[in-house]
Amino acid sequence: MQSERKTQILDTAEQLFAERGYHATSMRDLARAVELQGGSLYSHISGKEELLWRILERAADEFHAAITPILVRDASPAEKLRQAVHAHVRVIAGNLDAATVYFHEWRFLAEPRRSTFLERRNRYEQALRGLVADAVASGEFREVDPKWATLLILSAANWLYQWYDPDGPLSADEVADRFIEMIFAGLQSQAEQVALAMVT
């Protein structure tokens, strides 16, 4: 179980790291934001890097939890991919600060945590690539290299954290829909496009 104070510190650190970056945020900045004296933070955490690590773990957990149930779902590969990308985008848009740290600040982890993080990130991306490969194999997608197609999808999706405004007119779901629509149009096979066109 995690104390309330510790959660508050973690949340605040996440916000500050996202806003100013890890190295530009001092422990005293953080302490001020949670109304503590600098030294008091160390009653709750072991050091600055633990904060970064925990934030990254939390974020990785979110991504993992979002797509795992989809992977085993009973649906066509392309449909599962669509749902997974949707979930991925929703995690980013719903946890902008966490996503910013996840994409920006992980490189300030010292070894061995840095490697651990990267391996986990890689496994996650492999899962998505598997779905893309399946969609190609099933004929729903045209003959693209799954590696490249996955990179394209993730590139477009991950950039979200740079511009998405939660207070803007579009919800995370709507943003996800638009992106998926545009990307998938380029990846779907001709036959699939005709089939979809007939439904509409």
Choose which of 7, 26, 122, 171 interacts with DNA (CB under 7 A). 26
Residue 37 vs residues 14, 49, 55, 186: alpha-carbon distances, Å = 19, 18, 22, 54
- Should residue 48 be labelled a site residue for DNA when binding is judged by CB under 7 A? yes
Calpha distance 54→44 (Å, rounded):
13
CB 74 → a second copy: shortest distance, Å? 27
- Should residue 82 be labelled a site residue for DNA when binding is judged by CB under 7 A? no
Choose which of 10, 13, 18, 41 interacts with DNA (CB under 7 A). 41
Calpha distance 96→15 (Å, rounded):
9
Residue 75 site contact among a second copy, DNA, none (CB < 5 to 8 Å, cut-off depends on kind): none
Calpha distance 51→9 (Å, rounded):
8
- Comparing CB distances to DNA, the nearer of 49 and 125 is 49
Closest by Cα among 24, 153, 165, 32 to 85 = 153
Choose which of 7, 20, 42, 75 interacts with DNA (CB under 7 A). 42
CB 191 → a second copy: shortest distance, Å? 13
Amino acid identity for residue 35 in this structure: E
Take residue 10 and report the two structure tokens written for it.
Answer: 């973690």
- Should residue 200 be labelled a site residue for DNA when binding is judged by CB under 7 A? no
Angle of helix 146-158 versus helix 77-94 axis, rounded to 10: 30
Choose which of 7, 19, 20, 38 interacts with DNA (CB under 7 A). 38
CB 6 → DNA: shortest distance, Å? 8
The site for DNA (CB under 7 A) is made up of: 3, 5, 25-29, 35-44, 46-49
